[in-house]
A and B are shown apart, each in its own frame.
Chain A
Amino acid sequence: QKEVEQNSGPLSVPEGAIASLNCTYSDRVSQSFFWYRQYSGKSPELIMSIYSNGDKEDGRFTAQLNKASQYVSLLIRDSQPSDSATYLCAVEGRGGADGLTFGKGTHLIIQP
């Protein structure tokens, strides 16, 4: 049974600060890792994808992957109130047309 674990929060961060979101996964052969943002009542929106160990930066977002520790993280710099949402960590397995295994998500609140 593939598992993806996230702290459900809420995680409260002041505006302008760095928000740090974490995720662990159980299936060691997982190859692809994604962060999605989900506003209440809306669909998941892709934020970042990462496939190899290390850091990947895109604007204010940085994804970090450590396959040995089975750990993925997302950093949001200069947090804005519009970043307030639930952030979903998703993991894809062996390739082909594997479905994504999602965590329950971390509810992030950016305080103005």
Chain B
Amino acid sequence: EPEVTQTPSHQVTQMGQEVILRCVPISNHLYFYWYRQILGQKVEFLVSFYNNEISEKSEIFDDQFSVERPDGSNFTLKIRSTKLEDSAMYFCASGANSNQPQHFGDGTRLSIL
């Protein structure tokens, strides 16, 4: 069964550094998403991406964050100047169409020291 793949599974970074989290969505899906889950808290929406542009973003997704689809398969989340509070699990998800179920990758655990 097709799946969303994320790399790396765990990223440890010094505060202030930039990180790039990578995702390969399911191949025939058109909608791509990033979510985060701080330990012990609920899953929070960050951003959605469709037709090579951001479709919707939450209040969390400020100027520190950016997304890109550099080629036909990858979808990346860049976090500039990381802060301690950016430590969380980051999940990529994709959906075949709007309102269709979103399928999640295994996540990247980001630890900011």
Chain A positions near chain B (C-beta within 8 angstroms):
31-32, 34, 36, 42-46, 49, 51, 88, 90, 92, 95-105
Bound complex: CA A88 to CA B107 (Å): 16
For A88, the chain B residues whose CB sits under 8 A away are 42-43
- Given A88-B43, A102-B45, 16 more A-B residue pairs with CB atoms under 8 Å apart are A31-B99, A42-B107, A43-B91, A45-B104, A46-B103, A46-B104, A96-B50, A96-B56, A98-B56, A98-B98, A99-B35, A99-B45, A100-B43, A100-B45, A101-B45, A104-B42
Query: Which of A32, A43, A90, A104 contacts B105, CB < 8 Å?
Result: A43
Looking at chain B's contact residues, the main secondary structure is strand
Interfacial residues of chain B within 41-89, with CB under 8 A of chain A in the complex: 41-50, 55-56, 58, 89
Interfacial residues of chain B within 11-63, with CB under 8 A of chain A in the complex: 31, 33, 35, 41-50, 55-56, 58
